[in-house]
Amino acid sequence: MSTAQHNIPPSATEPAPTLTALFWGFSSVGLSGFGGVLPFARRLLVEKRRWMTAEEFNAQLGLCQFLPGPNVVNLAVIVGKRYQGLWGALVAPLGLLAGPVLIVLVLARLYDHYGAWPPVQNLLRGLAAVGCGLLFAMAWRMARAIPQKQVFWPFTVFTVSAIALLHWPLPGVMATGLLVSSGLAYWTLGRK
């Protein structure tokens, strides 16, 4: 435990934010991003409010991306806990989600009322096509960033075949894929 605390340098920056500051800070992050808000979280935490340094941010983000689940929500929990303990860990994600959830619920009610109307259906179809394109682009970018492509791309093919073509349940596919793929990565890391 004591070593863990040694490794986290004290924040070289501003005084610890209050619960109110955490709530509104993360609200602004949640409301400013479309299709992912991580860059905005970084801008707020590191550049605008200086609640953490860039190195601290990267280290904490590492843990969030290592674990499954919504990365930004996990990050809010970490930052909240760090400055205001349990209450902070509750208030920061609440701030992050409250505004966007309210907006999306208003949109959902509108959809319930007008969703069957042909122009709305056409509009959503256009949006879905763009959303689909953004996903393909994102996959392409992620695939380009993978090191040792000839070793690891087969696992991408495996995942697409199992999920998109064969419609197998995700938990089993991920467990199997992760075991073999990480095992292989562990082995290649040892050869260096």
Subset of residues 118 to 157 that bind another protein, contact rule: CB under 8 A: 119, 121-143, 145-147, 152-157
CB 71 within 8 A of CB 65: yes
Quick check: 191 binds another protein (CB under 8 A)?
no
Q: Which is nearer to another protein, 49 or 81 (CB)?
A: 81
Print the binding letters for residues 70-109 with another protein: x by CB under 8 A, - otherwise.
xxxxx--xx--xx------x---x--xx-xxx-xxx-xx-
3-class SS at 68? Answer: coil
Total residues contacting another protein (rule CB under 8 A)?
100
What Å distances lie between residue 12 and 23, 54, 61, 166, CA to CA? 22, 11, 18, 52
> Roughly how many angstroms between the first and final C-alpha of the chain, as a whole number?
31
The number of beta carbons lying within 10 Å of the beta carbon of residue 81 is: 15
Return the residue matching tokens 């930052």.
79
Decide if residue 62 touches another protein (CB under 8 A): yes
17, 56, 187 from 14: Cα distances, Å: 8, 14, 43
Give the nearest distance from C-beta 15 to another protein in angstroms.
Answer: 21
Closer residue to another protein in complex, CB, 42/82: 82
CA neighbours within 13 Å on the CB side: how many for 156? 12
Map residues 153-182 to x or -, x wherever contact with another protein holds by CB under 8 A.
Answer: xxxxxxxx--xx--x-xxx--x--xx--xx
Q: How far is the CB of 64 from another protein (least distance, A)?
A: 7
**Is 69 one of the binding residues for another protein (CB under 8 A)?**
yes
Find the binding residues for another protein in span 5-44 (CB under 8 A).
5, 7-8, 30-37
Longest dimension (CA), the chain: 63
